[in-house]
Structure 1
Amino acid sequence: MRSVLTLRGWWALCTSFLFVGAVQAASVQVTDDRGVTLQLAQSPQRIVSLLPSLTETVCELGRCERLVGVDRYSNFPAQVRSLPQAGGGIDPNIEAIVALKPDVVLMATSSRGVQRLESLGLKVLALEPRTSKDAQRVMGLLGQLLEVPDALRIWRAIDAGVSAAAQSLPPQARSLRVYYEVSTGGYAAGARSFIGELMTRLGVQNIVDPKLGPFPRINPEYVVRADPDLIMIGSRNVQGLEQRPGWAGLRAIRGEHVCVFTPEESDVLVRPGPRMAEAARVMARCISQKGMP
């Protein structure tokens, strides 16, 4: 009997070592939009996010408490407003980020600080969602990084919300030709952007040619020639709209078919993340109130 117990004890001990070894060997591995594979010994507990859509996605995945710093534009949900700010996506504060001792830094691929942070030994996951499919992919990647198994279930709920907003509009909305200006300088939402894709889902026609790219800079004369039925624009950019060459005669301006979004609404609309269903509802409300005859 003693030899049997010894054998069992030996087997239990070996199994225990194997289990511990497997846990130690386990790691989190994700590949970012640069094609760079990031490997961590465990899911990150200290995160700096330098892109509002990524900040919101982390929180939507239920890991908001892991954020230790954000960029100056991350303002949703409310709890992130009290976190230390580490500059912007384009101009990150490298010293502030290093001082926060993050396990990983989430930032856009276009940020100038990616290589600098990596040269200092920090782990960087560079992601830049530009389309709805990108936003879905990023949700899945961050779910993998943060060990949230139901990340795509969250995305399905977002997608269902967009579909519901589209179904709320009458069939005649499909005849509307819309111009959406996203920022100062005449940068518009092209058909290939996530905003343009939302417009397509809602059934309206984007006057911006898809060949011009996701967010092209549009000459005012281009809009005059297209003469849209409805203009969507943020309150930060609306000043002097009628003074643009030829714009006073646009049917949208003459008929007061212009939606001016508040700063809060604009934040929702220009971030490809978990509030895209809310963005669709904001746009649908605009179409119903200003676009319908």
Structure 2
Amino acid sequence: MKRILACILIALMAFAVSACSQEDNKVNSSKVENETPKTESATNSNDKATEYPLVVKDATGTELTFEKAPERIVSTSPSETEILFALGLGDKIYGVSDFDNYPEEALSKPKVGGVTKPNEEAIIAANPDLVVGGISMKEDIAEKFRSLDFKLYKTEPKKVDDILNNIIQLGIITDTQKKAEELVAQLKEDIRVVTEAAATIKEEDKKTVYIEFSPGWTVGKGEFMDELITMAGGINIASDTEGWNAINEEKVIQDNPDVILYTADLVDDKTGKPLEELITSRNGWEKITAIKEGHVTPIIGDLINRPGPRITDGLKQIAEAIYPELYKK
């Protein structure tokens, strides 16, 4: 558990990346159905085939050229592994990170080490023609792998639009564009359902929300976890901060959130307490409305921590936790 928590924290803190480089790779979600660079229609207009050679830029601005669709892929990030499997590329995945656990097929794939510093020998042994690096991979590590002549495509999503864009771009690179567009369309439909429900909430009735994704850590504006709360119609009490922040216990009491969300099944390494117990037992927190009224709800961590194809499942869990009355069956 300690190892997993450390990975989550490293992954989340690594979101603070260069905004300008992200812009090179960004596709606005409102346009993803129409923006399909370097592609041409196949015989069936609904079946889009990638035109090779293909030149793309990743989130760091690094240019890559693909002469054909990759046949041997290594993913060093759980989020990107989930995207690749969702695109039907399971038989082309020859390595995943030590932390990849979804879908179930990922468990049987060869492991290539951690998300921040993968095992280069394991990746060399996999002989990939595409290596996908996630948000946790440091730039110096990425450069090292590029120096070994790996085609490394690195992602750095900070917004939901970035997540949708990554799906589209990986679909283009791997010649699974049609599946990528179908997946993005479904995710956008999930977002539409939630945001339309949120639009029915009067401003004065919106609930304030505190989220603790790891013991002692919350999130402010500029990150997709904060964006999920906003999409759901909640008001993140940490939105006056930016990025990932160590919590101020007194400020949380002062802000007095209506709802507290936390990552399910986490145990604090220092105290040995489950995260929920840690939250509810803090001095003075018994006065917080969310705790007094029993609005302290666990959220599956992988759904909100991983910028992948299950991100809208996380959005729906957040929305139902904040406004259960809007989602009664």
**TM-score bracket, shorter-length normalisation:** 0.7 to 0.9
The aligned counterpart of 2:281 is 243
- 1:222 paired to 2:265: no
Change in 2 beyond 3 A, CA 1:109/1:275: closer
Q: Give structure 2 stretches of 5+ with no counterpart.
A: 1-50, 267-274
- 1:176 paired to 2:207: yes
The aligned counterpart of 2:193 is 164
Q: Which whole-Å CA distance do the structure 1 matches of 2:144 and 2:305 have between them? A: 27
Moved more, 50-59 or 103-112: 103-112
Partners of 1:33 and 1:109 within 8 A in 2: no
Cα drift, residue 167 of structure 1:
4.1
AA at the equivalent of 2:118: P
- 1:192 paired to 2:222: yes
Deviations 1:57-88 (A, max 9, x none): 11222222211111122211111111011112
Partners of 1:47 and 1:68 within 8 A in 2: yes
Q: Which whole-Å CA distance do the structure 1 matches of 2:109 and 2:169 have between them? A: 24
- 1:56 paired to 2:86: no
Q: Which whole-Å CA distance do the structure 2 matches of 1:74 and 1:110 have between them? A: 14
Q: Which whole-Å CA distance do the structure 2 matches of 1:51 and 1:80 have between them? A: 11
Partners of 1:178 and 1:228 within 8 A in 2: yes
- 1:27 paired to 2:57: no
Change in 2 beyond 3 A, CA 1:175/1:53: same
The aligned counterpart of 2:235 is 205
Change in 2 beyond 3 A, CA 1:108/1:152: same
The aligned counterpart of 2:172 is 144
Q: Which whole-Å CA distance do the structure 2 matches of 1:43 and 1:187 have between them? A: 41
> How many residues are paired up?
263
Cα drift, residue 102 of structure 1:
1.0
Instruction: Give the TM-score, by structure 2 length.
Output: 0.73
Cα drift, residue 218 of structure 1:
2.4
Which of 87, 93, 97 is matched with 1:67 structurally?
93
Partners of 2:233 and 2:319 within 8 A in 1: no
Partners of 1:130 and 1:214 within 8 A in 2: no
AA at the equivalent of 1:228: P
Which of 115, 118, 122 is matched with 1:89 structurally?
115
Q: Which whole-Å CA distance do the structure 2 matches of 1:199 and 1:163 have between them? A: 14
The aligned counterpart of 1:37 is 63
Q: Give structure 1 stretches of 5+ with no counterpart.
A: 1-24
The aligned counterpart of 1:256 is 294
Partners of 1:131 and 1:192 within 8 A in 2: yes
SS at match of 1:267: helix
Q: Provide the aligned C-alpha RMSD in A.
A: 2.4
| Mapping 1:90-109, distance limit 5 Å | 90-108=116-134
The aligned counterpart of 1:10 is none
Instruction: Give the TM-score, by structure 1 length.
Output: 0.82
SS at match of 2:74: strand
Cα drift, residue 126 of structure 1:
1.0
Q: Which whole-Å CA distance do the structure 2 matches of 1:192 and 1:131 have between them? A: 7
The aligned counterpart of 1:279 is 314
Report percent identity of matched pairs. Answer: 29
More helix as a share of residues:
1
The aligned counterpart of 1:269 is 304
Partners of 1:257 and 1:291 within 8 A in 2: no
